[in-house]
Chain A
C-alpha cells in the first residue's frame, strides 16, 4: 500500500469509516498475530490480543501522527497489549510443559523448536519483542525501533543481548551490528 493511499485510508478511518480501517488492518493482521504469538506463545491469547489491539487502534486513531507509518504504530499497540496480558495473566507468563506421556512422536522430534520457544519465553519482553520483530516479522531495524519507541542502537543492543541469552537453544550464533 502506498503512503498516499495509506494517508487517505487513515483520514477516512479517522472520520469513522470502518471499511477504510479494515483496509488498513488487512495487510498487517497476520504479522500482528505472529508478533503476539511470538510474545505469548498461546494461539488464542495471541488472536485475542490482535482483536483488542484493533479496538484500541480504532479508538486512538485520532492521536495518530499524520505522515507516520501505520504498521509500526499498530504493532506497537500489539506489543504493548502483549505486555499487559503477560502482566495480568499467569497463563501467559508461564511456559507450559505437558507430561512426557502426553507428547506425540512429532512433538518429540521438535525438541529443538521447544527449546527455542522456551528460551524465547524466558527473555524479558523488550528483548523478545525486538527479536520477533526483526527476525520473525523481518522488520528492518529502524522500524523495530519505531515500534518499540527506542533508538536503532537500543534495538541492536536488545537483540544482541537476547541472542546471547538464547545461545544454548540456538544452532548458530549471530550478532546484529
Chain B
C-alpha cells in the first residue's frame, strides 16, 4: 500500500468536515467589502506604528513591574507565577512555552497563564472549554497505568455557577514538554474559578479569572 493510501486510511474520518462548514464560514464574514491593496498598505503601516508603540510600552511595563499584571478584578485573587519560579526536574524544560509559568511541586505541577486569566476560550452550548495540563516527575504515558487517578474539580468563588465538569484524563506527550496528563474542562460561566487537581494524595490548586 502506498503512502497515499496509508495517509487516507489514517486520516479520513467519517462525517468530516461537517456539511454545514461552508455555511458556518459564510455566516462569519463581515459585511464590509474585501480590503483593497492600498488599504492594506495603510493597515500595515498603522499596525507597524502600533507595534512600535506597544513594544515600547511593554518594555517599560516589564522594567517597572516585577510580577505579571492580572486583568482580573481585585475580588479575584488569581494565582500568579511564583517568585522564585518553580523549576521542574531536569528532564523538563525550565520554563513552559507561550509565556506561561510552572506552578506546583515535583509531585504535581501545572502551567499558569501569564496574567492569571484565561481569555478567548472556545464557547459552545453555554460552556467555555479549556484544556489543563498536569505534570508529575517521571510520569510516562506509555507505562503509567494510574493516570485516571488524577481528578480535577473547580468551583466559582465570586458567584453562583453550575459545577465545572472535567473530561476523562488523557495523556499527552511532545518532545519539548515530555509526558503530561491532560484534562478538558467545561466551565459553565465566566468569573473567578479555583481549579484543583488531585493525584495520589497530592493536591494542587490555583485561582484563575475566566474572561471567556
Contact = CB atoms under 8 A, between A and B. Distances in A.
Contact of A43 (B4, B13, B22, B176): B13
A62 B171 contact: no
Contact of A33 (B10, B21, B172): B21
Interface string A75-107: 000000000000010110111111111100000
A60 B34 contact: yes
A120 interface: yes
Interface string B159-186: 0000000001111111111001010000
B201 interface: no
Given A37-B11, A99-B171, A16 B21 contact: no
Interface residues of A, number: 61
A90 B97 contact: yes
A39 B168 CA distance: 25
Nearest to B29: A58
A62 B172 contact: no
A50 interface: yes
B6 A116 contact: yes
Interface of B: 1-4, 6-11, 13, 16-18, 21-22, 24-26, 28-30, 32-37, 39-40, 97-98, 122, 131, 133, 141, 145, 147-148, 168-177, 180, 182
18 contacts: A34-B17, A41-B11, A43-B16, A46-B16, A46-B17, A47-B17, A59-B35, A63-B37, A90-B174, A90-B177, A97-B141, A97-B171, A112-B9, A113-B9, A116-B10, A135-B4, A136-B4, A136-B11
